[in-house]
Amino acid sequence: MLADLTAGAVQDAEARASERPLAAVERAALVRPAARDALAFLTPADRVKIIAEVKRASPSRGDLAAIPDPALQARLYEQGGASAISVLTEGRRFKGSLADLEAVSAAVEVPVLRKDFIATDYQVLEARAAGADLVLLIVAALEQDVLIRLHALTCELGMTALVETHSADEVARAADVGATLVGVNARDLSTFALDRDLFGRLADRIPSDAIKIAESSVLTPADVAHYRAAGADAVLIGEALVTGDPVATLTAFLEAGS
């Protein structure tokens, strides 16, 4: 599944590149205002930080919410206390777009993450051109030399990479590239099975100077408290926020992560 999702995302990027060449995207990326400092917003504090996700659908859950106005959704997240906004830009299975990312980036003051299956320089550059402050790099989807290159390009553009892992070996690979944001996804993107305790088993392996982010399997305040107790500095939440009242849900989640 992960290989198919990544291949599809790369194919879609290649189609966009036929209309907007790499040089044009690079120029657009370089003239953007400086990226927001994601580390400043996500640095550990006395309570958990939340990355709130604009997410219409997923391969595992199908359609979740229409979200006709992603900018409004993001402003509600910011109002509710989110420290960053994640925007799904993959169109085939998640029904997102770069237009969503641009709209959200223009609407909020907190950092914005482009969440997609990124495997090429072009995708990193178009993320910055669309206003992203962070990009997702999934270790399981990338050879180490590609991970190193994309991480370096992300930093060169002034953005921050959220380097996503699913195993001890992948955490070690993230550490080797100097990742400052390391995520542990409870969802195995090969099988889509969930393991909420995976973060707790891997947290101590994440370098002490990196911000630790728990991803997936967050539906209730108890889930947030579980991840906080296991050492999470931040949690990334999608489904629970798009299927309910985002402000009220965020308030409850932040209280649980105190």
Residues marked active site are found at 53, 55, 115, 164, 185, 215-216
d(C-alpha 208, C-alpha 193), whole Å = 28
* Cβ atoms < 10 Å from Cβ of 195: 16
d(C-alpha 137, C-alpha 179), whole Å = 10
**SS3 sequence of 178-243:** CCCEEEEECECCCCCCECCCHHHHHHHHCCCCCEEEEECCCCCHHHHHHHHHCCCCEEEECHHHHC
Contact 30, 124 (CB under 8 A): no
